[in-house]
Chains A and B, each alone.
Chain A
């Protein structure tokens, strides 16, 4: 037996590869693929009563999803909010990553650790701290009222889409900095010198060389932020109000109080499909645009 195994492992490279992969593979199948499949199957079922689900396959739940305007509206809003979150995060973290990669000479790792320091606290705590900052009697409103700039609290600060975008952008910043920093730091400095040498200013060099070469990091950051934030339901729940409600909040209630598992599953599938679609489009456009620029 031992001899057989040894022969098997030494002779066939793919056997070895699968053996190495198997722990992760098993986990992925058990914890991701099968629940996903289960959700997909459930989306073709019908909730008959409180405890009873009719398992005849039907597309009616998808029809329900599209016939009630609230679902597409919420889906669209989810995508819009995530898109804004991604944009705000990129615009704020790219300069930071750029600074560390090109201007910090010593202790780069320390800078990275310092940047991620706020993210060592709980996600919930960070969301709550934004309530303290943005709330009606929060830091910003109190300060503005005290200084006499406004007479009553700014209402768009909390329980709004603005609040959701701000909070999510802050929550995901650390995840954007790392891929951006890695791709910027990897850029060969002599390429930048070659660009100056060929007559480009610093600004032109950034758009023609640095930015296109940092694209893998930018696309990585986009995917890392966009995909999970579309499905986030904690932040909209805590700072979003009615205006900031997202599709994920609806799905949560469909699996909870509203008790319509099949419709919840169908909504989740729709979300999954649209997120994948949007992520692909964004990646494609980013690539095209940057090639055109250089």
Chain B
């Protein structure tokens, strides 16, 4: 069990004056896992990371790392290291001394120190930059130095606070892959904070979605996308069409739902749902197909009118207004639209297995 509970966060709350930044959060992170905390700004994800780092102490609850309680241990004595959002490279010393900074505290020979600094620079592909200063580095290089400076300490846990936020899109995507590969090769547990859902989805083993100080769902990325457990998660991760719905009856995992404008259907539920829950149903854009004429091979078919299309290279997004539904339905297709254009009538087909019942709270 120790490995699955390498980091154990138990009932942690943090209050700043009147504001509750983290609200009774419990989550376990496994050894060697790439774990992301995802949520909008102000959701408490950075506070939770800072509690792990030891910069903030929880108002309530406990934190343990590798089977030892670190709740009251200050940052400088914890087996964690952090990559800061603005990188926090010391401006008065060069790259080499920045990376050595944390090693000076450890009693190691100068040969070993040099060896470890060189290895760290090699790992982030910045050999030959030893004598540069922070103001002579680009954003991406600073980010790598910050990474090397933290990893050279061989921490049990590496904490990353939106480290890619300040990079341009192309570099960010490169760094995402590099960071992921690096994490696999060093095998250190990464806890990664981001507000960018794509980033969290592409890099993580598991993602915790946070809002208003609470963790709403912890799942692997694909599960998070395919089976959101509540409205916030469904809406926050990717695009989704949400339809007002009411539960008619529940029979074990089979739930009969009345979906606005579509009718009553029996669906499989993936979370625990009770008769009194307020629910919506959600359909991902990729699960709706479009054609110019009727077919009878599908579970649900509705008639609509195309209001807008947008072309994204590999995909085309089509917006279709359907009678009785307020917002046009959004769908994505990789194929050409074959004679369909804005204002043409069309038929949408949806398979029942692609419809999710999502709790409103």
Contact = CB atoms under 8 A, between A and B. Distances in A.
- Of the four ranges (under 10, 10 to 19, 20 to 34, 35 or more), the interface on chain A belongs to 20 to 34
A13 interface: no
A194 B92 contact: no
Interface centre among B74, B88, B97, B105 (most CB of A within 10 A): B88
Contact of A200 (B53, B76, B80): B76
A194 B82 CA distance: 7
Given A193-B84, A294-B97, A199 B90 contact: no
Contacts of A156: none
B92 A199 contact: no
B153 A199 contact: yes
Contact of A195 (B54, B97, B101): B101
Q: Is the interface of B mostly helix, strand, loop or mixed?
A: loop
Contacts of B74: 196
B5 to A, nearest CB: 24
A196 B75 contact: yes
Contact of A197 (B82, B85, B86, B91): B82
A212 interface: yes
B86 A188 contact: yes
Interface in B43-63: 53-55
Contact of B92 (A196, A197, A291): A291
Contacts of B84: 190, 193-194
A196 B54 CA distance: 9
Contacts of A201: 76
Interface string A188-220: 101101111111110010001100110100000
A191 B93 CA distance: 12
B76 A191 contact: no
B247 to A, nearest CB: 49
A191 B77 CA distance: 17
A284 to B, nearest CB: 16
B81 interface: yes
Nearest to A201: B76
Interface in B175-200: none
Q: Is the interface of A mostly helix, strand, loop or mixed?
A: helix
B102 interface: yes
B76 A199 contact: yes
Nearest to B81: A197
B171 to A, nearest CB: 21
A198 B17 CA distance: 29
Interface in A72-86: none
B149 interface: yes
A198 B153 CA distance: 8
A198 B92 contact: no
A205 to B, nearest CB: 8
Contact of B105 (A194, A200, A213): A200
Contacts of B105: 198-200, 204
A4 to B, nearest CB: 43
Contacts of B75: 193, 196-197
B139 to A, nearest CB: 15
Interface string A255-294: 0000000000000000000000000000000000001001
Given A197-B53, A197-B82, A199-B153, A188 B88 contact: yes
Contacts of B150: 197-198
Interface in B279-323: none
Given A213-B92, A294-B97, A199 B102 contact: yes
A212 B91 CA distance: 10
A197 B76 CA distance: 5
A7 B53 CA distance: 61
Given A193-B55, A198-B101, A199-B102, A294 B92 contact: yes
A188 B93 CA distance: 15
Contacts of A200: 76, 101-102, 105
A157 B90 CA distance: 45
B73 to A, nearest CB: 12
A201 B105 CA distance: 10
Given A196-B74, A197-B75, 8 more contacts: A195-B90, A196-B55, A197-B53, A198-B153, A199-B106, A200-B101, A200-B105, A294-B93
CB-CB nearest 8 A-B residue pairs? A198-B102, A194-B88, A199-B105, A190-B88, A196-B75, A196-B76, A212-B92, A197-B82
Interface of A: 188, 190-191, 193-201, 204, 208-209, 212-213, 215, 291, 294
15 contacts: A190-B86, A193-B82, A194-B84, A196-B75, A196-B76, A197-B55, A197-B80, A198-B105, A199-B77, A199-B102, A200-B101, A200-B102, A209-B92, A212-B92, A294-B93
